[in-house]
Amino acid sequence: MASCPACERVNPLDAKYCSVCGSPLVMRCPACGAINVRTRSACHHCRAALVPAPAPDAPEGPVLPVLTDDVALPELPAVDWSLSLRSDLDLPAPSEPDGPVTVTDPMPLVADADAPRHPPPLPDRAAQKASRRARVRRAQLRQRLPADGVLATDVLVLEADAGARAELCQWLETFGFRTHLASSAAEAEALSLRVANVAVFLGLGRDATAAADLCRRLRERVRHRPQALIAIGDRDRHADRVRMELAGADAVLLRPVGRGDVARTLEACSVVLPRDPRRGATPAG
């Protein structure tokens, strides 16, 4: 028998959980002595195979034979028990009713007017969680709004991959930003001089050195200095990510980049989203 470690209930050897409290039954590893649950086939400490304890021997004593052949039982005479009871208790014989029989319910079900007809719906935990996050974002938004209440919406994007560039611009426009595309580092620097961008996304491609130099120049600029410099690199090019961090990038995203990654990175860099399409959120304006 297996004793439960929680309530000390004695359970059969082949049981995996306690029949009273539902706690998993444990067994010791024969190699290292570590305690494991009975559902494991190998020890979690030394990975040795767990062998369940042998079943107890059969109790000593005479074994009753098992009857496999059909045994003919003697037929008993049929007895009318209603007549026997009626004769013993001297009860009157039942009579047939003259009219239709009306069956009444001894315990009628009375509908309570105040009781709900259907159980109340369970709360949507995902909606509650999204609403709490939206309230936190709105509180942070009120702290980050400028004095005039006008949000900067210009964002510069330098990305060599056409598919990734189109997807990133679509997400930024969903957040309410106005994107400006550049095909090279020189063009991106020229656009940054004409427009005050609140954020700059620099995609690292083959020429990561030019992107790092551009990031350093934008960081050291006094006029039209972006609030967030975000680099986008590959996971297998660790040297490029380190180069961008040394150049002054505020954040480095790793491909593939999702919409939530972009929103969280902008908020971490204190960039306010002009429009928040996430669940439970309201527009900033």
133-268 belongs to CATH 3.40.47.10: no
d(CA 145, CA 205): 35
Whole-number pLDDT of residue 197: 93
Give the span between the Cα atoms of 27 and 20, in whole angstroms.
Answer: 18
Tell how strand 199-203 and strand 178-182 pair up: unpaired
* Residue 123: predicted pLDDT: 65
Q: What is the pLDDT along the chain (285 residues), one digit of tens a residue?
A: 567 777 877 888 777 778 888 777 777 788 887 877 777 788 878 888 876 655 445 455 555 555 555 556 666 666 565 555 555 555 555 566 566 656 555 555 555 555 556 666 656 777 777 667 766 666 665 555 555 555 788 999 999 888 889 999 999 999 999 999 998 999 999 999 898 999 999 998 877 888 999 999 999 887 888 999 999 988 888 888 888 989 999 999 998 889 889 999 998 898 888 887 765 555 444
Domain regions of the chain by residue span: 1-54, 133-268
pLDDT at 64: 57
CA distance 276 to 162: 25
Whether this model's pTM surpasses 0.75 = no
* Helices 208-219 + 238-246 axis angle, to 10: 20
Q: What is the pLDDT of residue 50?
A: 76
pLDDT of residue 77: 64
241 and 138 Cβ atoms separated by less than 8 Å: no
Please enumerate in sequence order all residues whose Cβ is within 8 A of that of 188, keeping only pairs 6 or more positions apart, or say none. 156, 158, 182, 200, 202, 214
The strand pairing partners of 229, in sequence order, are: 200
176 Rama class: left (phi>0) / alpha (psi -120 to 50) / beta: left
User: Who contacts 37 (Cβ-Cβ below 8 Å, separation ≥6)?
Assistant: 16, 24, 25, 26, 27
